[in-house]
Amino acid sequence: MIKNLNKVKLLVLASALTSTVFAGNPERAGQAGASQLLMNPYGRSAGWAGAGQARSRGIESQFLNIAGTAFTKKTEINFSRTNWLVGSGIFMNSFGITQHVGETGAIGLGIVAINAGKIERTTEDQPEGGLGTFNPSFYNISLSYAKGFSDNIYGGINVKLISEQISDVSARGVAIDAGIQYHTGKMDQIHFGISLKNVGPKMSYKGDGLTNQATVGNSTAFSGQTYDYTISNRSAGFELPALINIGGAYDLYLTKDTVSRLKTHRVTIAANYTSNSFTYDNYCFGLEYSWKDILMLRGGLYTEKYIFTKGNDNLKAQRMTAFTGPTCGATVEIPLGEKKSTFGIDYSYRFTNPFGGVHTFGFRINL
């Protein structure tokens, strides 16, 4: 049972973190890695399938569209935990903080850590294991700056440090994100956004795990003597999963308060198109209802090529994602005191097949 679970973990980890092996562009298949950069660790944005990048706010914008961090009023702190593909033993933990600086700027720090659990250690000589376990770890550290250039235009840039490692092999890299948001309309109800993500140089693995010990000798040429030597193998470089997001959103206000800038009931419709360098392009659609920005309910739909294919086994085999489409989530944002500080709790669920979906829990503090 334990060995089977370890095999499942290896398969899921390979699927989640190297999904770019089967690329949308056949000529570039297998050239990308670091696919953990495509895994959304935040509950609020994941609840409507990431469709709201044109309207994203706060620290979650480091994943969707960095320009949204410019809306930080003072200080925002966010913690979240994701059970990735329930049953696989993979978890994501994230921490982020954004701080308002200057008149219209904001700086941010985000840390995402992925834990794949313990996996049985095997070798060519002992393929059944019995040598203990190892624990792969993945970290993304983001440093960002965003600014409002006018009442309508916001932009930002994000630098990410990437780390993948086990005990004797590791890879390090750096990537850059950039994004712009445009908001217009009488009540700023129209939103457009575009973001470029995961642009950076190739990464490669290094470490003692890529070396082998060998022995030569015990022949006439060596006078019966043997010699030990070390073979060092070089890892091929791999590219990062660069992509472009283009999206829009529209706010519908069902009622208006006596002060026009305060809205009681809001319904937001959002859509996003993602052009991936190595995987299928995808479309996301989302719907969110908000009551005074205290209670928010949302749902979404993630779509890509072959995701809804039925009947034809050949087409089913070309499906490249565990996600089956629907997503849902909720937020409770509780006001604290007269300084307009809030404490929020986020939850989202993304449907998958196989495994038991993706659960994300998080909470945030706006000071």
More confident residue, 260 or 152: 152
Q: Which two tokens stand for residue 356?
A: 């038991």
Phi, psi of 151 (to 5 degrees): -70, -15
What pLDDT, on the 0 to 100 scale, is given for residue 279?
84
Q: Is the peptide bond before 354 cis (omega within 30 degrees of 0)?
A: yes
pLDDT greater than 70 at residue 4 = no
- Chain segment 30-62, per-residue pLDDT in tens: 577 888 999 999 999 999 999 999 999 999 999
Give pLDDT tens digits for 266-283. Answer: 999 999 999 998 888 999
Q: What is the pLDDT of residues 61-101, one digit of tens each?
A: 999 999 999 999 999 999 999 999 999 889 999 999 999 99
In the chain, the percentage of residues whose pLDDT exceeds 90 is 61
Residues in the chain: 367
Is pLDDT above 50 for 105? yes
- Which whole-number Å values give the CA distances from 363 to 57, 333, 341, in the listed order? 14, 9, 14
Condensed to tens digits (0 to 9), the pLDDT of residues 314-366 reads 777 778 889 999 999 999 999 998 778 999 999 999 999 989 999 999 999 99
Which pLDDT belongs to residue 295?
97
What is the spatial distance between Cα 161 and Cα 29, in angstroms, rounded to a whole number?
24
- Residue 111 predicted with pLDDT over 50: yes
State the chain's mean pLDDT as an integer. Answer: 86
pLDDT of residue 1: 42
Which pLDDT band, with edges at 50, 70 and 90, does 290 fall under? very high
- 195/247 Cα distance (integer angstroms): 9
365: left (phi over 0), alpha (psi -120 to 50) or beta: beta
- CA 177, 365, 57: angle at the middle one, nearest 5? 35
pLDDT in tens, 245-269: 999 999 999 876 545 555 789 999 9
Q: What is Dmax (Cα atoms) for the chain?
A: 99
The residue ranges of every structural domain in the chain are 2-203+244-366, 204-237
Give the span between the Cα atoms of 11 and 296, in whole angstroms. 36
Q: What kind of fold does domain 2-203+244-366 have according to CATH?
A: Porin (2.40.160)
Q: Are 85 and 355 in contact (CB under 8 A)?
A: yes
Q: What type of residue is 346?
A: D
* Average pLDDT score over residue span 154-174: 94
Tens digits of per-residue pLDDT, 185-233? 988 999 999 999 999 999 999 988 888 777 766 555 555 677 777 788 8
Taking the alpha carbons of 41, 43, 44, 48 in that order, is the dihedral positive or negative? Answer: positive
Lowest mean pLDDT among 128-137, 178-187, 311-320: 311-320
pLDDT tier at 146, thresholds 50, 70, 90: very high
Report the alpha-carbon distance of residue 146 to residue 148 in Å, rounded.
7
CB atoms within 10 A of CB 292: 14
Mean pLDDT for the stretch of residues 130-153: 92
pLDDT: which is higher, 24 or 367: 367
CA pseudo-torsion sign 321, 323, 326, 332: negative
Give pTM, 2 decimals.
0.86
**Which has the higher per-residue pLDDT, 5 or 329?**
329
Three-state SS for 20?
helix
